[in-house]
Amino acid sequence: MPGDKSISHRAAMIAALAEGTSRIGNFSTSEDCGATLRCLEQLGVRVSRDGSDLSIEGAGRDGFRAPASPLDCGNSGTTMRLLAGILAGQEFESTLTGDDSLRSRPMQRIIEPLQMLGAEISSSDGRAPLTIRGRKPLMPIDYELLTPSAQVKSCILLAGLNANGRTKVVEDQATRDHTERMLHWFGVPIETGDAEKENERFAAVTGRTVFVGHDINVPGDISSAAYFIAAAALLDGSSLELENVGLNPTRTLFLKQMQSFGLNVTVGNVRDKSNEPRGTIKVETGYDSPSAANNSESSLTLRSALIPQLIDELPLLAVVGSQIDGGIEIRDASELRVKESDRIAATVAGLRAMSAEVEEFDDGLRVNGPIQLHGAQIDSRGDHRIAMTFAVAGLIAEGETEIKDAECVGVSFPEFFELLNSVVE
Ligand code: S3P
């Protein structure tokens, strides 16, 4: 699998803030991470790239320069929200913009804490373009996340690196912790609570520390692997092994979910590298025990604390649910409506077009299963995860499926169709 997108964004941005050179291996091939690199270059960071190997000359805490034109984050929410945190601590003015989808997504969630830290931000009614007039140093804050979001948490922590004191972010529900791990890898003092325990989920940084470049190897992207795992589990006669896939516990709930459906997904050779666990995932078609195939008359409901850890895999889980006894219900997931597209509406429309029985809720959906899907015309809405989800649905469906704007997979996984063709007979 290509390098993890979330980890690659953080590796590039934190390397840019470091003094000296960082080499990054297996950097994500995604367009989103390409947008991050271009923005960093516009800010004066030197990047040299040879395929998935990168070398970044850090600008250091004070070496960024004012960009000559707006910074285009493309389709990437992570680029915009995390860079905003860095730019809040720079003394110049800069503007972050993006494509139509990104300019329609909510940014008040980062504007509010960044203003508390002392940055001046103007927006178009809480949406991009965002113009940021930073301040150095920022004022440290204690902040409780209103939306469970690793992007918002990371934005505040990156801003906190330029604050005069300790900045603490408390979260009610655990979200991916790649920023905390990457800061630790670079030797930045960072405190974290126990993500397993309610009331102890927090991360805190003390600002104005200087740190130096580090080499990083990025594990394969588990969110990209998920499409292959689902396809192999559901397509008769499959056997698939994926090596060097990221197994950070805040990202592996999808695997546990597949296992709880009784599907034959196993993990081995787990090891740590660059402070991120990784290992081999094996998938065989069918159920791992004969009783698992028909043990769940009642449907499975995914909700609340589970949602942030499955957020990018939920459309795919809805498709998998359509093949499972009892189906699946997803609730408390209204965040899906403000992703690259309204992913609840897109998933419901796609599944209905393929003849599934689906109910739509404000905060989720319920799909009955098992059901034979039928090939259909699917509108990806220009959303990479919708296109890949329905490519998997198309493989298990009877008849042909055509996905509109399927090239949008490049946002996270440009080699998706080529790889899929190489493993599917
Ligand atoms: C990401 C966090 C998630 C996820 C996105 C990547 C990240 O968004 O959906 O694809 O890299 O931090 P939120 O944190 O806003 O839920």
Q: Which of 171, 188, 217 is the last residue of a domain?
A: 217
For residue 198, the model assigns a pLDDT of 78
Is 81 in the same domain as 175?
A: yes
* 237 C-beta neighbours (distance < 10 Å), count: 9
274 and 364: one domain?
yes
For residue 177, indicate whether it is catalytic. Answer: no
From 5, 36, 145, 149, give the residue whose CB has the most ligand 1 atoms within 8 Å, as the site to mutate.
Answer: 149
Q: What average pLDDT score do residues 266-291 get?
A: 89
- pLDDT given for residue 403 in this prediction: 98
**What percent of the chain has a predicted confidence (pLDDT) above 70?**
97
Co-location of 212 and 276 in the same domain:
no
- Quick: pLDDT tens for 263-278: 999 999 999 999 999 9
Same-domain pairing of 400 and 257:
yes
Total number of domains constituting the chain: 2
Range of the domain at 364: 222-423
Q: Is the pLDDT of residue 75 over 50?
A: yes
What pTM does this model have? 0.97
Backbone angles phi, psi at 71, to 5 degrees: -90, 120
Is the pLDDT reported for residue 220 higher than 60? yes
Say yes or no: 55 and 140 in one domain: yes
Whether residues 202 and 235 share a domain: the answer is no
Phi and psi (nearest 5°) for 61? -60, -35
Looking at the predicted structure, is the pLDDT value of residue 288 above 80? no
Q: Where is 190: in which H helix or E strand?
A: strand 190-192
274 lies in the same domain as 391:
yes
pLDDT reading at 7 higher than 60: yes
Q: Which of 381, 325, 311 is nearest to 353 (CA)?
A: 381
Q: Once rounded to an integer, what is the mean pLDDT over residues 380-409?
A: 98
CA atoms within 13 A on the CB side of 279: 16
Tell the residue nearest (CA) to atom 16 of ligand 1: 149
Same domain, 61 and 146: yes
Average pLDDT over residues 118-138: 97
Report the chain's mean pLDDT, rounded to a whole number: 96
Q: At 374, list the tokens.
A: 């039928």
* CATH for 190: 3.65.10.10
CB 139 within 8 A of CB 164: yes
Q: Which of 72, 221, 312, 332 is catalytic?
A: 312
Average pLDDT over residues 381-406: 98
- Residue 289's pLDDT band (boundaries 50, 70, 90)? low
Q: Are residues 289 and 338 in the same domain?
A: yes
147 lines ligand 1 (CB under 6 A): no
CB of 312 shorter than 6 A to ligand 1: yes
Which one of 183, 201, 217 terminates a domain?
Answer: 217
320 and 173 in one domain?
Answer: no
Among residues 348, 343, 319, the alpha carbon closest in space to that of 333 is found at: 343
pLDDT of residue 18: 98
Q: Would you state the pLDDT for residue 61?
A: 83
pLDDT of residue 205: 98
Q: Are residues 413 and 382 in the same domain?
A: yes
- Ligand 1 contact via 82 beta carbon (within 6 Å): no
Domain boundary among 201, 217, 233: 217
201 and 248 assigned to the same domain: no
pLDDT at residue number 290:
45
